[in-house]
Amino acid sequence: MWASGNDADRFDIFYSDAAGSARTMRVDGAGRILRDVAADALVSGGGIFNTLSTIHENLFAGDTGAWIIGLSGLVLLGNLAFGLRLAWPRKGMWKRSMLAAPRGPTAGRLQGWHRLLGLWLALPAAAVVAAGVLLAFEDGVEEVLHAVIAPPAAHVRLGSAAAGAQKRVGPGTALALALREYPGATLSALAFPSGGEPWYRIRLRARGEMTRIWGATTLFVSQANGEIVGGRGSIRPLARRFVDALYPVHTGQIGGIAGRCLVGVIGILLVAMIALGTGLWLARRGPERASARADSAPQASKGAP
């Protein structure tokens, strides 16, 4: 179960029905069902947003798609760096390069706007894209930085299994115990116990965390006795905090509404730069093709009988 990114009192519950089909149920804070749709719905019941997210993350191709997305992000990073190197103004030309509106013939104006947008956009876009690339390879990044969230130790599993005959702790009690550890925190996600993992995994947004929709404070609460058997708090190792910051940076959540708007503008301007670059190529190609035809005409006339 995950808290909805739109409202604090909306939750999405992911479950399998009696037939084994995956479904997503949205409920409000009082437990009233707002919608219940197939988890693989592409458009209906809010499925369009999941579809767009999946395309962005892995192209509906699992790990292979994630690799493609990550590698394409690396290519984009390289293009940004190379373009910034080419557009870097000479000494004393920064003000004019950053503020003056391009003028002149069509090709010159297109090149000028492409360069102007690139100078303003390159660094913030590089930060957003770099965070996205690292997210595409998040599991590997966690391993390299030793920032993996370790589950409870084996003896906890055995102890919980041995206590299976006792009255088990329900999700409401487990959540209350987690919130007691972090007063003022809000629920971000809750995963129920499974056969090999007899604990609740609870993710909270605690006070003092980086601005974001979903928090990064994770606790494991034993289903057998309600004991907190593992997890990490809001004060985390630097490597873990770095990994946790990737998503807020990539989505702009780190800056609240303003940050998310900024990321949206960056995306629009990247598309605009593609359009300007394409227009510049076409504007230059027209005269070149006309010149090539003009040069070939005399040759053709000389070769005629």
Taking CA atoms, 293 is separated from 4, 216, 284, 297, in Å, by: 61, 63, 15, 6
Q: Taking 80 as the threshold, does the pLDDT of residue 298 lie above it? A: no
* Per-residue model confidence as pLDDT tens digits over 28-56: 988 899 999 999 999 988 889 889 999 99
Greatest pairwise CA separation for the chain in angstroms: 104
pTM for this entry:
0.84
Portion of the chain with pLDDT greater than 70, in percent: 86
Alpha-helix runs per DSSP H in 91-208: 94-99, 106-136, 138-144, 154-162, 171-181
What integer pLDDT is reported at residue 200 of this predicted model?
Answer: 95
What length is written for the chain?
Answer: 305
Mean pLDDT of 188-195: 91
Where in 207-276 does DSSP place strands (E)?
217-222, 228-232
Burial of 80 (0-12, 13-18, 19+ CB in 10 A): buried
For residue 141, name the pLDDT band (cuts at 50, 70, 90): very high
Mean pLDDT of 113-130: 95
Tell me the domain boundaries of the chain.
Answer: 59-144+237-287, 154-235
* CA R_g for the chain: 27
SS3 252: coil
Q: Taking 80 as the threshold, does the pLDDT of residue 223 lie above it? A: yes
Q: How far apart are CA 57 and CA 77, in angstroms?
A: 17
More confident residue, 31 or 67: 67
Mean pLDDT of 194-223: 90
Mean pLDDT of 251-267: 95
Q: Taking 80 as the threshold, does the pLDDT of residue 305 lie above it? A: no
For residue 151, name the pLDDT band (cuts at 50, 70, 90): confident
Q: How far apart are CA 157 and CA 199, in angstroms?
A: 9
Portion of the chain with pLDDT greater than 90, in percent: 65
What are the structure tokens assigned to 284, written together? 């230059």
Q: Which of 48-52, 193-197, 224-228, 232-236 has the lowest mean pLDDT?
A: 232-236
For residue 176, name the pLDDT band (cuts at 50, 70, 90): very high
What are the structure tokens assigned to 172, written together? 């409401």
More confident residue, 71 or 10: 71
SS3 188: strand
User: Which strands form 2-3's sheet, in the order they lie side by side?
Assistant: 33-38, 22-28, 10-16, 2-3, 186-191, 199-205, 217-222, 228-232
Q: How far apart are CA 151 and CA 157, in angstroms?
A: 10
For residue 132, name the pLDDT band (cuts at 50, 70, 90): very high
The mean pLDDT value of the chain amounts to 88
Q: Quick one: which of 225, 245, 224, 241 has its CA closest to 233?
A: 241
The residue whose two tokens read 């930085």 is 145
Mean pLDDT of 293-299: 62
What integer pLDDT is reported at residue 69 of this predicted model?
Answer: 97
Domain 154-235 class in CATH: alpha beta
What integer pLDDT is reported at residue 8 of this predicted model?
Answer: 66
What integer pLDDT is reported at residue 213 of this predicted model?
Answer: 87
What integer pLDDT is reported at residue 288 of this predicted model?
Answer: 65
The residue whose two tokens read 């116990």 is 193
